[in-house]
């Protein structure tokens, strides 16, 4: 397969993923059939795919049909298609790569697991969730899209229950394990398959930075930093000053968070220290 055709097939696969996976605000889980379409790198057109693609981009549907037809021909012979035909086919493909949020999040989780977890020390859910949070912050994405104020700080139930972690485990990117009293993720046998995606999306590219900044932070410290930052974003969105007193007010007025203020890790000096660290990490947020 020529490099141009391989690139076109990659884009077709991503388009089909986008057409097939459920929207994150729906309760329906991603099905095994939908996952298998890109686990095995096979392009298939289901009735749902066809309807979605016809509705969104008729040219894209025709291009994908062309790719499928070309692949069938290559199974029988290796005759090259005319260069002009290839140029026309590629011109129908979208210029910007797109993939559903669930898939991108799955890649983020898998890469963080690869860089943090070891067979003896799997990556626990709290640490994973906080590291993913900071990857989105570094990529300057809106963390309020999926993160909620929960007892352990900003938490994304969407990642756990709406597809990303399921994609990771079904694809073999990560696997859940128990080591003594520790429960968490370690890398799976197919972890190397995420490499092709790491440079495509800003949040994936932010993972190295997150690991360099937070790899050795304890769980309580990550909870402190993420909670203070999430509270600071509330204040910034309201165009209010970001101070220890204001952060404490945000925490105190939330039923999930107010008990935090009785813990030593959320003392005034520790909140002040967290704010100083966060100002250096995310200066645009804390410029006030």
Mark which of 215, 234, 258 sits at the end of a domain.
215
Tell me the three state secondary structure of residue 110.
Answer: helix
Q: How many CB atoms lie within 10 A of CB 152?
A: 18
User: Does residue 266 share a domain with residue 252?
Assistant: yes
Q: What is the pLDDT of residue 69?
A: 52
* Domain tally, the chain: 3
User: Does residue 206 share a domain with residue 108?
Assistant: yes
Q: What is the pLDDT of residue 56?
A: 57
Q: What is the pLDDT of residue 63?
A: 55
CA distances from 31 to 35, 114, 162 (A): 6, 25, 11
What is the pTM (predicted TM-score) of this model? 0.68
User: Does residue 8 share a domain with residue 47?
Assistant: yes
Q: What is the pLDDT of residue 197?
A: 92
CA distance 7 to 13: 10
Q: What is the pLDDT of residue 162?
A: 77
Q: What is the pLDDT of residue 100?
A: 85
Give the strand pairing for 153-155 and 174-179: unpaired
User: Does residue 287 share a domain with residue 222?
Assistant: yes
Tell how far CA 260 is from the center of its chain.
28
User: Does residue 257 share a domain with residue 198?
Assistant: no
User: Does residue 199 share a domain with residue 109?
Assistant: yes
- Of the candidates 160, 2, 9, which has an alpha carbon nearest to the alpha carbon of residue 78? 2
User: Does residue 118 share a domain with residue 68?
Assistant: no
The pair of three-digit structure tokens given for residue 264, joined into one six-digit string: 């030593």
User: Does residue 76 share a domain with residue 9?
Assistant: yes
Write the DSSP symbol of residue 70: H
Containing structural domain, residue 38: 3-91
List the chain residues with pLDDT less than 50.
20-30, 38-43, 70-97
Mark which of 200, 215, 230 sits at the end of a domain.
215
CA distances from 273 to 42, 155, 256, 276, 278 (A): 51, 22, 23, 5, 9
User: Does residue 163 share a domain with residue 82?
Assistant: no
Q: What is the pLDDT of residue 60?
A: 55
User: Does residue 263 share a domain with residue 191?
Assistant: no
User: Does residue 276 share a domain with residue 257?
Assistant: yes
Q: What is the pLDDT of residue 160?
A: 82
Mark which of 56, 91, 126 sits at the end of a domain.
91
User: Does residue 111 share a domain with residue 13?
Assistant: no
């Amino acid at each position: 397969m020529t490099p141009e055709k391989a690139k076109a097939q990659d884009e077709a696969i991503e388009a089909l993923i986008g057409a097939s996976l459920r929207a994150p605000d729906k309760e329906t889980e991603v099905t095994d059939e939908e996952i298998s379409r890109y686990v095995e790198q096979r392009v298939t057109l289901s009735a749902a795919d066809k309807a979605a693609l016809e509705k969104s981009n008729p040219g894209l549907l025709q291009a994908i049909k062309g790719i499928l037809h070309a692949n069938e021909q290559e199974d029988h012979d290796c005759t090259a298609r005319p260069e002009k035909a290839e140029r026309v086919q590629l011109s129908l493909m979208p210029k910007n790569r797109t993939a559903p949020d669930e898939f991108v999040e799955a890649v983020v989780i898998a890469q963080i697991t690869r860089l943090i977890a070891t067979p003896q020390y799997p990556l626990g859910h709290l640490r994973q969730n906080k590291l993913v949070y900071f990857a989105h912050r570094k990529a300057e994405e809106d963390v309020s899209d999926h993160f909620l104020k929960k007892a352990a700080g900003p938490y994304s139930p969407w990642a756990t229950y709406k597809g990303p972690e399921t994609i990771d485990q079904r694809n073999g990117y990560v696997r859940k394990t128990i080591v003594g009293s520790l429960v968490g993720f370690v890398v799976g046998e197919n972890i190397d398959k995420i490499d092709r995606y790491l440079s495509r999306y800003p949040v994936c590219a932010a993972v190295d930075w997150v690991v360099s900044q937070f790899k050795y932070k304890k769980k309580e410290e990550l909870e402190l930093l993420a909670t203070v930052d999430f509270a600071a974003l509330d204040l910034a969105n309201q165009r209010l000053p970001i101070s220890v007193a204001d952060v404490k007010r945000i925490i105190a007025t939330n039923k999930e968070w107010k008990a935090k203020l009785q813990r030593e890790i959320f003392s005034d000096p520790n909140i002040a220290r967290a704010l100083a660290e966060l100002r250096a990490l995310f200066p645009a947020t804390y410029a006030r």
